[in-house]
Amino acid sequence: MSALLAFALAAAASAAPGAWTVSGASTAVLGADAVLVYRPAAPVAGALKPDALASGTTDFVVTQAAARPDGSWAWTVLPMNVGALDFTARWTLDGRALAAPTVRLSVTAPKIAKDADIADIKAPRAAPWPWWPWLVAAALAAAAYAAWKARKNRAIDAPSVIVAPPVPPETAAENAIAELEASGLWERGEHAAFYLRLTDILRAYLEARYGEAATAMTSAEVARLVKSREPDLRASATAREVLSRADLVKFARIKPSASEGPDDVGLVRALIHATTPADAARPAATAAEAAR
């Protein structure tokens, strides 16, 4: 990230809240967060809100737009292509749409050592603390409270407390895949974003299934995890194939064929089915069908 860009941006008087200055790096790296700080020259009158969804494009994904104590706004963007790319921050002021002047960033590909494992484009995260004991504890506490209240009030036909069971990993993954298929990312040609979401779904499923931090692993490490847990070598081969193809699309900008994305969705579904315990497969399938 070389020289800092710092320039004044003047918006239309009818739409923008006055003059702005923007500071941040003039260069960025594919798949790495870049921060742009928008600072108003004078206090803003009205309800100014960032519109992160409208600001996202096939070149940039807005991961965060947050107000800072000094009155400025920090926009964190994730470059999805390389080259000289333009980003436009979009806002609403008292419900009216407005756009800040365009900022240009020079985005380069990441430097990857030969034969090195390729890490996913999101920073590693620590494995979450197991959540199911807390759900069980909450369910027991709710049931005990309901019984105590019923005895105290000597109520007749008191309503029972129903606690929703936790969603099984295979059901959560199937629901997420259905949402991805309905998003239209593949049909619009947003292949990198499509594979980013698909591999996130696969990693989150494996993390929930095995209790290992799959979301913080490289593609090769994920394949080794599956191999260590599954006797059928086809499972680890499938994981390696899907993650490797996704890395080529996300990092090497390889253009996939029209059928590769849908085919890889089928492979992920097959991997989920193959790694779901037999006693959980039928209830999970029923729940997934009901969710659709």
Which CATH class, in words, describes the domain spanning 4-108?
mainly beta
Q: Please report the sign of the dihedral spanned by the C-alpha atoms of residue 251, residue 254, residue 255, residue 261.
A: negative
How far is residue 69's CA from residue 66's CA, in Å, rounded to a whole number?
10
Query: Is it the case that residue 116 has pLDDT exceeding 80?
Result: no
- CATH 2.60.40.10 domain position(s) in the chain: 4-108
Residue length of the chain: 292
How far apart, in Å, do the first and last CA atoms of the chain sit?
A: 45
Enter the pTM of the model: 0.44
pLDDT at 7: 37
Quickly count: other Cβ atoms within 10 Å of residue 31's Cβ: 19
The C-alpha R_g of the chain, in whole angstroms, comes to: 24
Write the pLDDT tens digit of every residue in 105-114.
999 988 765 5
Contact 63, 36 (CB under 8 A): no
Write the pLDDT tens digit of every residue in 219-234.
889 989 999 988 888 8
Q: Which residues contact 275 (CB under 8 A, 6 or more apart)?
A: 206, 209, 226, 229, 230, 235
Write the pLDDT tens digit of every residue in 53-104.
888 888 888 888 988 888 888 989 988 889 999 988 888 888 888 788 888 9
6 in helix, strand or coil? strand
Of 139 and 12, which is predicted with more confidence? 139
Task: Name the amino acid, one letter, at 9.
Answer: L
How far is residue 184's CA from residue 172's CA, in Å, rounded to a whole number?
20
Residue with tokens 């999805």: 80
Confidence of residue 48 (pLDDT cuts 50, 70, 90): confident
Task: Name the amino acid, one letter, at 290.
Answer: A
